[in-house]
Amino acid sequence: MADMRTPLNRVRGLGSAKEGTGHFWRIRLSAIALVPLALFMVGWVLSLRGAGYAEVRASLSQPLVALAAAAFIVASLDHMRLGMQIIIEDYVHGEGSKLALLILNTFFSFAVGIASLFALLKLAFGG
């Protein structure tokens, strides 16, 4: 099989990381999953317009609503992380800065996800 790398990348040892297609499909599939989830969440929030804390908690205690909210949180944070990864890889040129930002991107997404899911579970199961 022919080597498709440029001469400069052959010298540097750089080339395909064999992850491009998987990354492409993950970001597309998460976008597709977010369409119905976002529509559900917008409809749910609009249905609670003017509701108090007790009504919101009662609504979140329904399994369908809690699972949809959790799926929305996970899918949107994964989609955000993947999108920011592309931006960082394309526009940050220093290798040290790029690595630090990629790590921070992952940690930020993880921290927001944990906090969001904790808040959701606390509301759904009464706390």
pLDDT computed for residue 22 by the predictor: 86
Read off the pLDDT of residues 82-110 as tens digits, 9 standing for 90 and up: 999 999 999 999 999 999 999 999 999 99
pLDDT computed for residue 96 by the predictor: 94
CB 76 within 8 A of CB 55: no
Q: Which residues contact 55 (CB under 8 A, 6 or more apart)?
A: 48
pTM: 0.82
Domain ranges in the chain are 20-124
What confidence tier does 23 reach under pLDDT thresholds 50, 70, 90? confident
CB 76 within 8 A of CB 42: no
CB 25 within 8 A of CB 81: no
Which fold is adopted by the domain 20-124? 3 helical TM bundles of succinate and fumarate reductases (1.20.1300)
Closest to 124 measured CA to CA, from 42, 69, 45: 69
Read off the pLDDT of residues 33-78 as tens digits, 9 standing for 90 and up: 999 999 999 999 999 999 999 999 999 999 999 999 999 999 999 9
